[in-house]
């Protein structure tokens, strides 16, 4: 997984566990693309302090993932859903013995497509 995508997912999953200052500085740097110097001016602290805070925050997020594994589990479940979606897309009306079975298939397929429409794809 790309490093930037991993960072984004880590913050999506574990961001609420960070302090307000950690979340704010993370947002300014990674979401709003401010430089360390610009953030230091906004926060009224040194550039080095911002650098240290970002590194510490990244380490904290990695530790949460090491302990809880939510991002890894998310990716594994997402891959399974992609496989199921692919299998469902390969089925046609002729593959079903009854109209009711085909209609159930269509409902399941629509539900899976809805899940994909509502999750972030990095």
pLDDT in tens, 40-71: 999 999 999 999 999 999 999 999 999 999 99
Model confidence at 119: pLDDT above 90:
no
16-to-7, 20, 21, 48, 92 alpha-carbon distances in Å: 14, 9, 12, 24, 44
CATH architecture of the domain 3-68 equals Orthogonal Bundle (1.10)
* Domain boundaries, given as residue ranges, for the chain: 3-68, 72-118
Query: Sign of dihedral through CA atoms 24, 68, 6, 88?
Result: negative
Average pLDDT, the chain: 91
pLDDT in tens, 75-95: 898 899 889 888 888 888 888
Under DSSP, is residue 50 helix (H, G, I), strand (E, B) or coil? helix
Q: At 106, list the tokens.
A: 């269509």
């Amino acid at each position: 997984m790309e490093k930037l995508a991993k960072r984004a997912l880590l913050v999506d999953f574990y961001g609420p566990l960070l302090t307000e200052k950690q979340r704010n500085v993370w947002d300014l740097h990674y979401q709003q693309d401010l430089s360390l110097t610009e953030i230091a001016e906004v926060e009224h602290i040194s550039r080095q302090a911002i650098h240290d805070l970002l590194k510490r925050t990244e380490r904290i997020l990695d530790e949460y993932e090491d302990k809880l594994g939510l991002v890894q589990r998310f990716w594994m479940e997402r891959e399974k859903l992609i496989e199921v979606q692919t299998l469902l897309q390969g089925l046609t009306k002729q593959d079903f013995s009854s109209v009711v079975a085909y209609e159930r298939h269509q409902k399941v397929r629509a539900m899976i497509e809805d899940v994909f429409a509502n999750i972030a794809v990095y």
